[in-house]
Every structure is written in structure tokens, then in C-alpha cells.
């Protein structure tokens, strides 16, 4: 195992000095060079040579599978790494460990891809990020003169790394490690979850007028996507875009056709930038339901680019009096078939279960739901993405009970959840080339 102590001690000392004495005490050039040497040593220790890729980009769909340039199936075994969509505007853990170390940990855990959420507010505000929230990544400050105050800084001189800079750097750290990355438009207002706020319920909120603090139309939503994806046009491991997290609305007002039409519009704009990207289309009713694609599939000008996505939690099962934590397996499996399983069984399109999870101290209901879902994922051999990597939620530092890392952002919570996930990483018929 790679030793992490030198970097942790160094960044800890630097951050304490910066916080106690103000921004003028952020490391001098000489100290920063020493930190850069440490980071370089750690990088060399972690990766003596570039990772050998098992799959060759670019990727496309072939029936129910995602395949690489050689026609070999690429099964997404993903983890959600969140935080850029939240109140601090940066991915979680950057105050604890360097982004290259976090990427190495994700890879070591057995995941081959990351769903990487952002908020529209992050793109709109793009705030300067204070050093304390990226204190294990102080190399991101190297290009900025933090000693200068606003009055002495020359016109146009940057004041520090902004949220989009940090997001981009983390994407590159993951893809450099050989991890596929799927940016995800998670929420409009920067927050962990705001399920009761209709302003965050879908990709647009202009229909609510002045009620929404962060207002967004379909056009501005697409513009934000262009901003997120433009730096990665030539990065083959940024494989596509998860267009919107859990689109929903007031009961009965969010139709599949409304969402499919908007998804097509956004997809076409992104495919003009890079026609090799995959477009991930979540279901309606908080991503539970992709059944609308039976009669109204998403159709794009570039073929073989559509991947559907569903989310399944123990409380899911919208429109039924019996949530999934209380369903017997036959009833649960029938709902999965109705919502999205038919796409796989009919060899119509891939389905990525982009979010699911359980707390590490799950009760009987959690285990019942989990066991049913694991059985269905084994039987369907669907692609998947677990929620989440993070041990803590950003705003109040609350425990993220669904997280798979401990507070050091290195130690894996090696429990029943993680062990079951590792059993469904490999695709059935591994190594098979799809025709």
C-alpha cells in the first residue's frame, strides 16, 4: 500500500498556517516547489507506468451493451463521487487527499468509471475556491498570486482556482489513471439534495418565474453542458454525459415526451462538439421509470449513442403503495422489467443503474431491498453505478451512511455492500466481442 503520511503532514502544516495567518501566508514559491516534489514522488510511486487499458476508446452502443472500438463489451461498474454539485462547489475529499490519490483509490477498489455530478449554480457562479477546501491539492494554487489583495492585483490577474478549474483537474486525474468519467448534471441550486424544491426538479425552471433563486431555461441548461464538456473534447475517457439527475415535476406534469424532447435537444448540441460521446438518458419519476422509451425512444442524428439510466432505492416504486423494501422478489423483478429491464431483454439499448445504495448499518428493509436488487443485477447483467464514494456530506459534515470510504478517504468500508458489488463487476461472458 502506498504511504500517504508525507503528503498529509505537509498539506496539514500549510493549511494551518494559511488559515491562522491569512491568505498572505499561503505557501511561498519555494515551499510550493517542495510540495510539488512530494506530489511527483507520490505519483511515481502510485503509477510507475501508464495504466494498461482493457478497452479501447471510443465507445458506442450495440444492442443492449456498451462496446469499445474493437467491439468488446465495456460494462460500467461505477461509483458516484459527489461534491462539485454541493455548497462548496468542489468534489469531496480534496481537503484530505490529493486528487491523483483519490483516483488511484477508486481504481484499487475495483471501479472502472465514475459518475461525476455538478450543479448549474457551479457553472453560473464559478466561484474562486478557498484553499481550505482543497488543502490536499495546493498545487492547484501554483498559478495564482494569493499574496496580492484586490487593490494591488493587476487588472485581469486571476485570484485563485475557480470551481470549473478544480472540476476539470479532477476529471483529468481520473482519466489519467485509466478511469472512464461521466459528468452528471445533478441539480440546479448547489446542494446535496433538494427534493422538495421544484426549482431543482428538472432541467428547467422558468415556468416557476421569480420563485427560483437560480433560474434556468432549456437553452441555458444546454449552454452549461457545453461549458462542462468543452475542455474534454479530446479526452477519450470522458465517455459521455448524464444529462439530468432524476427529472420530475408536480404529479402528472412531467411526461416522458417532454423529457425525451429536451434530452434530444441537449444531445444534439453536445454531439456537434464530439460525436463519439454517449448520451445517458435517465428515467422520469426521479429516474425510476424508463418505460416511455417503449413507444417514444430517444432518437439522435448520430447512431448508437443512447444509454438509458434508472435509479433504484428501497423507498422507490413511485405510483405504488408498496415500496421496494417490502416487495417480494417476483413483484420487484416485474417492476424492474416494466421500468427498464425490457430494454435489455429485447436487446434494444444499454441501461445503466446510475444510482442505488444502502446504509452500512442497514436494517431488515435495507437488506431485503438490497438482496432483491443484487439478484436482479446478476440476472440482467446491467451496467451500474453505486451511490456513493463519499464518507461525509459537505455542508454540515454529516455522515454519508451510504458511503464506501471512511473519513480518511482511503480505507474501504469492506462490508456486505462492497463485497456484493465486487461480485457483479465483471460482465457475463467476459471478453466476448459483440457483433
Per-residue pLDDT tens digits of the chain, which is 435 residues long = 332 333 333 333 333 333 232 333 344 344 344 445 545 544 454 443 445 668 999 999 999 999 999 999 999 999 999 999 999 999 999 999 999 999 999 999 999 999 999 999 999 999 999 999 999 999 999 887 555 444 444 555 557 899 999 999 999 999 999 999 999 999 999 987 766 788 998 999 998 888 999 999 999 999 999 999 999 999 999 999 999 999 987 776 789 999 999 999 999 999 999 999 999 999 998 899 999 999 999 999 999 999 999 999 998 865 567 889 999 999 999 999 999 999 999 999 999 999 999 999 999 999 999 999 999 999 999 999 999 999 999 877 789 999 999 999 999 999 999 999 999 999 997 555 554
Distances (CA, A) of 16 to 21, 25, 243, 245: 8, 10, 39, 37
Q: Please list, residue by residue across 107-130, b when 16 or more beta carbons sit within 10 angstroms of its beta carbon and e when fewer do.
A: bebebbbbbbbbbbbbbbeebebe
- The DSSP output letter for 355 is E
φ, ψ (nearest 5 deg) of residue 85? -85, 0
One of 3.40.50.11290, 3.10.20.740, 3.20.20.80, 2.40.50.100 is the CATH number of 50-127+162-422, namely 3.20.20.80
What pLDDT is stored for residue 319 in this prediction?
58
C-alpha cell at position 275:
460525436
What pLDDT is stored for residue 195 in this prediction?
61
Q: Which residue has the cell 471512511?
A: 406
Beta carbons of 163 and 89 less than 8 angstroms apart: yes
Contacts of 125 (CB under 8 A, 6+ apart): 89, 163, 190
What pLDDT is stored for residue 155 in this prediction?
53
Contacts of 117 (CB under 8 A, 6+ apart): 80, 82, 83, 84, 85, 183, 184, 185, 186, 187, 245
C-alpha cell at position 95:
481537503
Long-range contacts, 327-334 (Cβ 8 Å, 24+): 327/372, 329/372, 329/375, 332/372, 332/373, 332/376, 333/372, 333/375, 333/376, 333/379
293 closest CA partner among 267, 330, 264, 317 = 264
Cα atoms in the 13 Å half-sphere on the side-chain side of 336: 30
Amino acid at each position: 500500500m502506498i504511504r500517504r503520511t508525507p503528503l498529509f503532514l505537509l498539506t496539514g502544516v500549510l493549511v494551518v498556517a494559511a488559515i491562522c495567518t491569512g491568505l498572505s501566508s499561503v505557501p511561498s514559491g519555494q515551499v510550493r516547489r517542495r510540495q510539488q516534489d512530494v506530489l511527483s514522488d507520490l505519483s511515481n510511486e502510485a503509477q510507475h507506468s501508464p495504466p494498461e487499458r482493457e478497452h479501447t476508446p471510443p465507445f458506442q452502443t450495440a444492442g443492449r451493451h456498451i462496446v469499445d472500438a474493437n467491439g468488446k463489451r465495456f460494462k460500467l461498474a461505477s461509483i458516484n463521487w459527489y461534491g462539485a454539485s454541493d455548497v462548496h462547489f468542489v468534489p469531496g475529499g480534496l481537503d484530505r487527499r490529493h486528487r491523483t490519490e483519490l483516483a488511484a483509490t477508486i481504481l484499487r477498489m475495483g471501479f472502472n468509471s465514475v459518475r461525476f455530478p455538478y450543479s448549474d449554480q457551479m457553472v453560473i457562479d464559478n466561484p474562486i475556491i478557498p484553499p481550505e477546501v482543497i488543502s490536499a491539492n495546493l498545487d492547484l494554487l501554483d498559478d495564482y498570486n494569493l499574496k496580492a489583495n484586490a487593490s494591488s492585483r493587476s487588472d485581469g490577474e486571476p485570484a485563485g482556482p475557480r470551481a470549473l478549474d478544480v472540476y476539470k483537474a479532477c476529471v483529468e486525474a481520473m482519466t489519467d489513471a485509466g478511469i472512464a468519467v461521466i459528468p452528471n448534471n445533478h441539480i440546479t441550486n448547489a446542494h446535496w439534495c433538494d427534493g422538495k424544491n421544484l426549482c431543482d426538479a428538472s432541467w428547467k425552471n422558468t415556468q416557476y418565474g421569480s420563485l427560483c433563486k437560480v433560474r434556468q431555461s432549456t437553452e441555458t441548461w444546454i449552454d452549461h453542458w457545453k461549458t462542462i464538456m468543452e475542455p474534454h473534447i479530446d479526452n477519450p475517457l470522458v465517455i459521455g454525459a448524464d444529462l439530468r439527475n432524476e427529472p420530475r415535476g408536480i404529479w402528472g406534469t412531467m411526461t416522458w415526451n417532454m423529457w425525451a424532447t429536451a434530452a434530444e435537444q441537449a444531445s444534439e448540441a453536445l454531439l456537434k462538439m464530439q460525436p463519439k460521446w454517449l448520451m445517458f438518458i435517465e428515467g422520469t419519476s426521479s429516474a425510476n421509470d424508463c418505460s416511455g422509451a417503449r413507444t417514444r425512444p430517444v432518437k439522435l442524428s448520430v447512431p448508437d449513442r443512447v444509454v438509458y439510466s434508472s435509479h433504484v432505492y428501497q423507498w422507490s416504486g413511485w405510483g405504488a403503495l408498496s415500496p421496494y423494501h417490502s416487495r417480494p422478489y417476483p413483484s420487484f423483478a416485474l417492476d424492474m422489467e416494466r421500468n427498464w429491464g425490457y430494454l435489455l431483454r429485447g436487446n434494444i439499448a444499454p441501461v445503466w443503474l446510475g444510482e442505488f445504495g444502502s446504509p452500512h448499518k442497514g436494517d431488515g428493509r435495507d437488506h431485503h431491498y438490497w438482496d432483491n436488487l443484487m439478484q436482479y443485477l446478476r440476472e440482467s447483467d446491467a451496467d451500474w453505478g453505486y451511490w456513493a464514494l463519499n464518507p461525509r456530506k459537505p455542508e454540515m459534515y454529516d455522515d454519508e451512511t451510504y458511503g464506501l470510504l471512511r473519513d480518511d478517504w482511503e480505507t474501504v468500508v469492506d462490508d456486505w455492500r462492497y463485497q456484493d458489488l465486487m461480485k457483479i463487476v465483471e460482465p457475463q461472458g467476459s471478453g466476448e466481442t459483440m457483433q
